[in-house]
Amino acid sequence: MKLDRRPAVVTLVAAATIALATGCGGSGGPGSSVNGCQIQANTSCPGGDLSGADLAGADLSGADLSKAKLEGTNLSGADLTEATLTEALIVDADLSDADLTKANLTGATITGTYLDGATLCGTVRTNGTTDDSSCPASTDTTSPEVEAKVATFVLGDFTCPEDSGDGSLPVSWTTQNATAAELGVDGETVSDTGPSGSEEIHVPCDGESHDVSITALSDAGAGETESHEVSSR
């Protein structure tokens, strides 16, 4: 799904009348806190409630706002470069003139939100595809300098059959600047998949520890790898 940048109220899901809330969130100037979330670069507020907050011009670059509530939030002119907004609830918000370069919106719900003038370059849309519709002319988003990164890599419960053999391990993931991902067990590729998603992989149930990994891939090649150890003991 492509982000629509027409000079009107813009929505990624359905058109809605904008109605910015001003009550419960409060102001969020530099260095301030909104419902326990520090308003600053690289802040970590997964699941935070910033509804109704006035965050116009705020520096939230690199922020973890996954699953955050941004209902009626004023983020006009805010710096959200490389921010993680996966599964965030962005309703009746103002993101006009915000910088969403390399921001990750995978799985987010976005309705009734202004995006007029927003910078969309390397921005991961809600469906996991990338929007480069407003990259500066000099920006090459496929250059080797733009590294594909792992945003989240979550392992579920590892279950083994009663007899010997391979067990089932559910995994889910999201990435930044990636066009694909590679899942591996003990250094061997077990699945070539998309930049975000979930599936079950097979891991030996032999009582030993095994390394489960994901590598983010882009046109520039292999990027960041993240791994976790699992065991059937």
- For residue 142, being part of any structural domain is answered with no
Q: Which of 82, 115, 137 is the last residue in one of the domains?
A: 137
- For residue 105, being part of any structural domain is answered with yes
SS (H, E, C) the chain: CCCCCCCCCECCCCCCCCCCCCCCCCECCCCCEECCEECCCCCECCCCECCCCECCCCECCCCECCCCEEECCECCCCECCCCECCCCEEECCECCCCECCCCECCCCEEECEECCCCECCCEECCCCCEECCCCCCCCCCCCCCCCCEEEEEEECCCECCCCCCEEEEEEEEEEECCCEEEEEECCEEEEEECCCEEEEEEEECCCCEEEEEEEEEECCEEEEEEEEEEECC
- On whether both 120 and 196 belong to a single domain, the answer is no
Say which CATH number the domain at 155 has.
2.60.40.10
Residue 118 sits in which domain range?
A: 1-137
- On whether both 112 and 4 belong to a single domain, the answer is yes
- On whether both 51 and 124 belong to a single domain, the answer is yes
- On whether both 108 and 156 belong to a single domain, the answer is no
- On whether both 70 and 169 belong to a single domain, the answer is no
pLDDT tens per residue across span 132-165: 888 877 544 444 457 899 999 999 998 888 776 8
**Would the pLDDT of 16 be above 50?**
no
- For residue 144, being part of any structural domain is answered with no
Report pLDDT for 51.
Answer: 97
- On whether both 160 and 185 belong to a single domain, the answer is yes
- On whether both 127 and 164 belong to a single domain, the answer is no
Report pLDDT for 17.
Answer: 30
How many independent structural domains does the chain possess? Answer: 2
- On whether both 7 and 89 belong to a single domain, the answer is yes
- On whether both 132 and 170 belong to a single domain, the answer is no
**Would the pLDDT of 207 be above 90?**
no
